[in-house]
Amino acid sequence: MQKEIQTLCARTVCYRRERRSVPLAREFARTALVEWDLERRADEVLLCVSELATNALLHGVPPGREYRLRLLLVSTLADKWGVGERAPGKIVWCEWWPEW
């Protein structure tokens, strides 16, 4: 039996460098997970979104700048994460496999 491969559209949003952006980022991710029918991974994804958004606020985003949250959940990608340098700041990212 062949599994149906579903590609999920990436979603992107920008947030100002302020504390209230962390719960807003979690809500953005939660909404995407519901629409993608991936609520079963919500705890893990929302924890990572919180950690990455907090890290962006504390270490990656200069005052007066924004950070971008991009969710990319594709059934063909492996779980992985990484950090990349950028001027100014840095990029911190993670990806998940959906559980079908």
**Are 78 and 64 in contact, with CB atoms under 8 Å apart?**
no
**Is this structure's pTM higher than 0.85?**
no
Residue 100: predicted pLDDT: 65
Asked if 53 and 25 count as a contact pair (C-beta separation under 8 A), the reply is yes
pLDDT score for 23: 96
Q: Residue 76 has what pLDDT?
A: 34
Task: Determine the Cα angle at 93 with ends 83 and 85, to 5°.
Answer: 30
Q: Let me know how long the chain is.
A: 100
Mean pLDDT, the chain cut into blocks of 10 residues (100 residues total):
49 91 95 86 87 87 87 54 77 71
